[in-house]
Structure 1
Amino acid sequence: MFAKATRNFVEEVDPGGLLIPVRSLNDSIALLTVVVSQKRFWFWQKPKHLPTDFNLNDILTGDTPITPVLTETDFIKYNGTYGDNIQGTMDATFIHSNVNMEGKDSSKLQFSFGSLKKDEVDVRRLLQDSKNRLLDMSHCLIQQIKKKRQVFGVVKERIVTSQPCSVIEEVQQAEQCTGTLSLCEPKSPKVSLKDNGSLSKDSNVTMEIPTNTTLAYALIDLEVKHDGRYELCLMSNKGGFEVDGPTQKSLMSVTGAPGGQNNPGVSHLTRELENLRAHFQLLAALPASSRSSLLKGITALTQDRAALGALQSLLDRTLLEKSANMADVSEAHKRSIQPVLEVLKEAERLSEAQTERSVSLLSALHLIISALDELTCDSLAALRVCSSPDVLKIMELLVQHLSGSRESPASGAEVSALPEDVLSGMQHLFASSGVSLQRDGDTARSQIKQMQQAGNRPLIMCIALRGLHSLV
């Protein structure tokens, strides 16, 4: 709830910028706090930032602490309300039974942060104070960071509350099921069973946030030499530790697994999607029942950003650390992600007899979930409107046209029949990923607007859409 509010806040006030949302009220973020940037699996993923209990002075040698020059300025007065309304019905008629299901979900997140302040470190003074200072390379924190080849930095600015404020989340869920089941055999009386059931769940949670709570922060990374000397990375987040061996001048930094270049051009998009083809093919080869269950489970997760992030972190640990420990997952999130994990487990069991594959189902699922987790909250909300199989097929054609693997744009009666709310959702999803989408009658065209500014956003969207389409 708090993490959802801070993420929405950062997406609104600093999209694509340096601000990092605080994930937990338990995170104590002060200026010069040491924050570790955790390595991710895919090169296009933003690093995960883990605040520590130490500040810069704790890991320096010598007895003279650095006393930073601080400035405090008014930042912004901010209040926000975000909501979703989802409803649907299903009618099924069988030989001896009729079933009608109706569901309606609505959620609203309202936060009133009021007037916010920005605390900043004078970086020029910090540069001067850091001259001839050494890090304590024997410090346990530095040893652990270096061993895992991670990057760390210190907090150079933070956005804090200047008055008590609140976050309110309201959730309403209602489901109703009616059915008639008839059993009839020759020379026997007809048996009819009628059932009416309904389930409703309402929750209203208010969180009071005290003054001087950090909502977001920005880092300046450290580039560390063998002898403990360090430099502040002023122009980019490319910190790390100097590496032993022939490539001694290079630095170990946060990199991804597949890919590596950050060229946002169409050729880059085409190449990366081609490199991931085996993942999509593996998902498309699953039995229809498994694909349908996965699509349903993943679509449901897009309604809960925190549960989606919990599944992404769990799959991260499973792939990188070969550990699927769910001890850190809350009970509510376990209930949300368990259906997806059960389908994955069953699909892996059924495919054990197949020949050796270049990728695993775990890796393929991790790819989709990671891409979805990188989308903004608004993009996820727009995607939910467009998650029906027919619309996903149209968006797959747009992805093909965008990546250059299809010369003609998407066209046909399905395009002209798109409802306005679905078309609006598609346009919002594409626009938030740096892609323009235009419909002219029965033709829809997609194009990357400004390649340099778009970065990896078009690629991430295409991976998410192609992954979901693989499950249709």
Structure 2
Amino acid sequence: MFATATRNFVDEVDPGGLLIPMRSVNDSIALLTVVVSQKPFWFWQKPKHLPTDFTLNDLLVGDTPITPVLTEIDFIKYNGTYGGHIQGSVDATFIQSNVNVEGKESSKLQMSFGSLKKDEVDVRRLLQDSKNRVLDMSHCLIQQTKKKCQVFGVVKERIVTNQPCSVVEELQQAGSCAGTFSLWGLKSPKVLLKDNASLGKDSNVAMEIPTNTTLAYALIDLVVKHDGRYELCLMSSEGGFEVDSPTQRSLAGVPGACGQDHPDGSHLPRELKNLGAHFQLLAALPASSRSSLLEKITALMVDKAALNALQSVLDQMILGKSVNTVDVSEAHKQSIQPVLEVLKEAEGVSAAQMEGSVTVLSALHLITSALSELTCDNLAALRVCSCPDTLKVMDLLVEHLMESGESPASGADVAALPENVLPVMEHLFNSSGMSLQRDGDTARSQINQLKQPGNQPLIMCIALRGLRSLNPH
């Protein structure tokens, strides 16, 4: 809840800027705290930031610490309320279950942060103080960071609460289900509904946040030389270690991906074409494997934390590392284990059919990476749209979007969709830098040039095409 509140706050006050939202109210961060940034696997992902227990002074050689010049200024007074309503009725057919699900959800997140302050480091003074200073290259944090090809940054500013404040989340869920299906899973144990069952769930959670709690922070990255000397990256986020090889320094992921943000979405057809082998490999899996993966992934989409936990595990697996070191709670381990078991079976079945560098693991990692970039609201909406007929129509829209920049889907496919699913589809497209209009039995989508959507259309199209590839029908 705190992470959602800080993410919404940053999206409002600094969209596309340098501020990084805090993930936990339990985390503490000070100016000049060392933060390790992991470069993303796919170019359209945001870097992952991990605050450490060390400050820049802890890593310096010598006994003379850097004493930064600090400035404290009033920032803004912030109170916000976010809410939405999602309603849908779908027939979902999996290999092992046939269900009809009707559900509706309304949520409200109220953030009363009040007056906020901003603490800043005088960067010009920090530049002067950093001259001729050397990092201790034998420090365990530096050694571990170098091995993992990660980047050092230090906190140069932070947004802090100036008074006690609160975050309140209200959630109302209701649904009915014919058959057997895990319907609601958000922040609760799995609930199985059998034979025309119905479920209602309300929750109201309030979190009190104390004074001097950091809501967001900004970094200045370091370029570290062989001998421990370092430079501050003033104009970019291209920090790293000089000892890194060119291969390590490059972006992993899509071959030939430029890693640039295209405000007009013009790169979408090219990038989706580059990723085609991933979708084809998933679509070639046995129907039972695809159905099981689709069912289990859509079940995780009601809990963003569980989805992120799966993403963290797949990150380690694709890098060839042991997943035992991943910081995942026991509850999330139980949630994601069924996905990993199906993945293992699918990899064994497809091993003899694979060509090139694309594997089932990399293909599934692609889908979960895209899903992890979506908001909780869009994940809930996408879950409503994860039935075969709706995925088919949405994939047609994506296909024609690749070919002409404008995509019609017409006739029986659109007419067969439940009326209350169409507004959810429209919400998904509109919230991702695209637009979707319906004229009779024709649906049409295009890139919204006015909103400068950047990589958002690509991320949503990857998620849609990936789920469609797992559809066994």
TM-score by length of 2: 0.82
In 1: Cα distance, 2:252 partner to 2:14 partner = 24
Aligned twin of 1:293: 292
Cα drift, residue 241 of structure 1: 1.4
Report the alpha carbon displacement of residue 326 of structure 1 after superposing the two structures with TM.
8.0
Deviation at 1:230, TM superposition (A): 2.0
SS in 2 for 1:158: strand
Offset at residue 125 of structure 1 (A): 2.5
Residue of structure 1 equivalent to 2:361: 362
Structure 1 unaligned spans of 5+: 93-97, 180-193
Distance 2:319 2:82 in 1: 37
Whether the aligned pair in 2 keeps the contact of 1:396 and 1:469 (CA below 8 Å) is yes
* Residue 75 of structure 2: aligned partner: 74
Same amino acid, percent of matched pairs: 74
Q: Structure 1 residue 319 and structure 2 residue 315: aligned?
A: no
* Deviation larger for 203-212 or 219-228: 203-212
* CA distances 1:241-270 after superposition (whole Å, capped 9, x unpaired): 1137xx8xx796472332330343766433
What's the CA shift for 1:464? 0.8
Residue 183 (structure 2) aligns with = none
Q: Is the 8 A contact 2:265 2:457 kept in 1?
A: no
Contact preservation (8 Å) 2:89, 2:100: no
The CA deviation at 1:419 is 6.3
Displacement after TM superposition at 1:395 (Å): 1.9
> 1-side partners of 2:286 and 2:49: how far apart?
38
Is the partner of 2:324 in helix, strand or coil? coil
Write the deviation string for residues 209-244 of structure 1: whole angstroms up to 9, x where unpaired: 211111111111112222322222122111111137
Q: Deviations over 1:344-382 (max 9, x none)?
A: 344344445x43443222221111010011123343344
Structure 1 residue 114 and structure 2 residue 114: aligned?
yes
Within a 5 Å distance, the mapping from 1:10-89 to structure 2 comes to 10-72=10-72, 73-82=74-83
CA contact (8 A) 1:164 1:210 kept: yes
Deviation of 1:141 after TM superposition, in Å, equals 1.7
CA contact (8 A) 1:105 1:172 kept: yes
Query: Quick one: which amino acid aligns to residue 262 of structure 1?
Result: G
TM-score scaled by structure 1? 0.82
Q: What is the 5 A alignment of 1:260-271?
A: 260-263=257-260, 264=262, 268-271=267-270
Q: Give the drift of 1:318.
A: 1.6
2:213 equivalent in structure 1: 213
For the residues of structure 2 that align with 1:83 and 1:392, how far apart are their CA atoms? 22
Cα distance in 2 between the residues matched to 1:56 and 1:437: 49
- Which residues of 2 match residues 255-404 of structure 1 at below 5 A? 255-259=251-255, 260-263=257-260, 264=262, 268-325=267-324, 328-351=327-350, 354-358=352-356, 359-404=358-403
Number of equivalent positions: 448
Q: Aligned Cα RMSD in Å?
A: 3.5
Name the CA distance, whole Å, in 2 between partners of 1:200 and 1:451: 40
Provide the rounded CA distance (Å) in 2 between the counterparts of 1:347 and 1:415: 32
1:181-220 mapped onto 2 (5 Å cutoff): 204-220=204-220
Task: Work out whether residues 21 and 217 of structure 1, in 8 Å CA contact, stay in contact via their aligned partners in 2.
Answer: yes
Query: Which residue type is aligned with residue 317 of structure 1?
Result: Q
Structure 2 CA distance for aligned equivalents of residues 100 and 44 of structure 1: 35
TM superposition shift of 1:63: 3.0
Deviation string 1:92-148 (CA, Å, 9 cap, x unpaired) is: 9xxxxx998776666554443232222222222222322333222232222222222
Closer, same or farther: CA 252–452 of 1 in aligned 2, 3 Å: farther
Structure 1 333/110 Cα, relative in aligned 2: closer, same or farther at 3 Å? Answer: farther
The answer as to whether partners of 2:405 and 2:447 remain within 8 angstroms in 1 is: no
Contact conserved, 2:225 with 2:242, CA < 8 A, in 1? Answer: yes
Deviation at 1:41, TM superposition (A): 2.2
Q: Report the CA distance between 1:401 and its aligned residue.
A: 2.2
- SS of equivalent to 1:328: coil
Structure 2: which amino acid aligns with 1:371? Answer: A
Distance 2:140 2:326 in 1: 25
Measure how far apart 1:203 and its partner are. Answer: 5.1
Q: CA deviation at 1:24?
A: 1.9
Residue type of the alignment partner of 2:253 = A
1:304 Cα deviation from its structure 2 partner: 1.4
Q: Which stretch shows the higher mean deviation, 39-48 or 322-331?
A: 322-331
